[in-house]
Structure 1
């Protein structure tokens, strides 16, 4: 019995000519542009010994005395991520309404809001962290501000796109009852977009936890500075604990988001 049917739905069972040409062009472009990013298989193969040598240092007795300081930095990282996500959620919701074509009060407002959100997402959190560190000084505050700024741009875009793809028949039905614009938003659009909202928020929390781990690189709080310092100073006994703790935190939030998402859906 054939489990997989590899034949295409064409007369000769082969892919369409356009698909073959497209795949060929993409493959040629990838091969031709590989030297630009130094994609040399021989160089990668020869670097394997260096990678194994670096990983071999991880099999070392952890520095257990470092755990109290590590716990404090990890808690700071989690707080940065959660506070930034909460603030971004409050700020992004009204921006998302203005940036959705079916909820914005005017097309001009739609285009202006979309451009603002694009600007907020244009630069990574690390760059904005540098900006806010220069403005308010070192510490977790610039980290919260940087994550809030960028996350607001992402969440507002997610919210707007979720509201734009809702079932228009439901909107028409609510509108036929004489509902106002606010009532249409509350009873026709938001209930349909709620699962997507929750999915976007849970994804952003997971993303912000990972992003907050590197903000300490520029003095914006969190575990990032300890991570980079351990790598540069070859403190492998600390590096093992830092990496494993980051893995545990990210895994915890990933499992938690899956549970919440399944209940919401």
Structure 2
């Protein structure tokens, strides 16, 4: 079956073609703002190939214990930050949900607070916390937790706002309080989506924790930036491979946990 546009002629409408060409032309015209050019990309291809060629080297196996320790520190940073964010984002998410918040003013304040928390990237908050409390994994945990509360609270609030009204009306008909309605009507419906978001955020936090060491906030990122600065490609290739294995294992684990939790939830329903 041939693909065609849902128009009488089967061709894309002129408005769409004109809009697309306008956007492409605008991007081409403003590419100089980010110093992007095809000639620069072509001229730097040799240096890129040289860099990746240097990664083809014999790994420094004596670095293995230090690598494992740094990776474990990265995992701990992500887990602790996610746990702290989970404890804080659940009440904030409830207050930021339009159908669960006790008052429109509380809803607006909670929404603005969550927006403020996720306004800046992890690295920026890590820089601020490093300046405040010093170097090490602790400011990295604080930065990850701070940003994660903003995202997780927003996700949780949106999951609550789209729950079905029938269960809520049924619980209200029994004379239940607002807290009981949230506990027995809203939370069970929002839980599957919330678990999926939690697994995604945990995966993101592990990735983010791997680079926070660049600004002195602990994790494997510090070893990576030092290997780059000292041209220790034998260690750099081990760090890259270690991060890849860590993320792949976490992806498998999160998929397994999510399947178990959601499977149990479906059986319970």
Same structural fold, with TM-score higher than 0.5 when normalized by the shorter chain: yes
1:71 aligns with 2:68: yes
> 1:185 deviation in Å?
0.8
Unaligned runs of 5+ in 2: 263-269
Provide the rounded CA distance (Å) in 1 between the counterparts of 2:16 and 2:174.
Answer: 49
- Which position in structure 2 is the counterpart of 1:196? 193
Provide the rounded CA distance (Å) in 2 between the counterparts of 1:255 and 1:235.
Answer: 31
- Which position in structure 2 is the counterpart of 1:238? 235
- Which position in structure 2 is the counterpart of 1:176? 173
Q: Out of 8, 11, 19, which is 2:8 matched to? A: 11
> 1:163 deviation in Å?
0.7
Q: Out of 108, 112, 119, which is 1:111 matched to? A: 108
Aligned residues: 262
Provide the rounded CA distance (Å) in 2 between the counterparts of 1:23 and 1:176.
Answer: 53
**Runs of 4+ with >6 A deviation:** none
> What SS does the corresponding residue of 1:6 show, helix, strand or coil?
coil
Q: Out of 123, 126, 136, which is 2:123 matched to? A: 126
TM-score, normalised via structure 1 length: 0.94
Provide the rounded CA distance (Å) in 2 between the counterparts of 1:140 and 1:8.
Answer: 54
> 1:29 deviation in Å?
2.0
Of 241-250 and 188-197, the range deviating more from structure 2: 188-197
> What SS does the corresponding residue of 2:118 show, helix, strand or coil?
helix
Write out per-residue CA displacement over residues 32-90 of structure 1, whole angstroms, 9 at most, x where no aligned residue.
22222222112212211111100011111110011111111111111000000001000
Provide the rounded CA distance (Å) in 2 between the counterparts of 1:85 and 1:78.
Answer: 11
Unaligned runs of 5+ in 1: none
TM-score, normalised via structure 2 length: 0.93
> 1:143 deviation in Å?
1.1
Root mean square deviation, CA, Å: 1.4
> 1:16 deviation in Å?
2.9
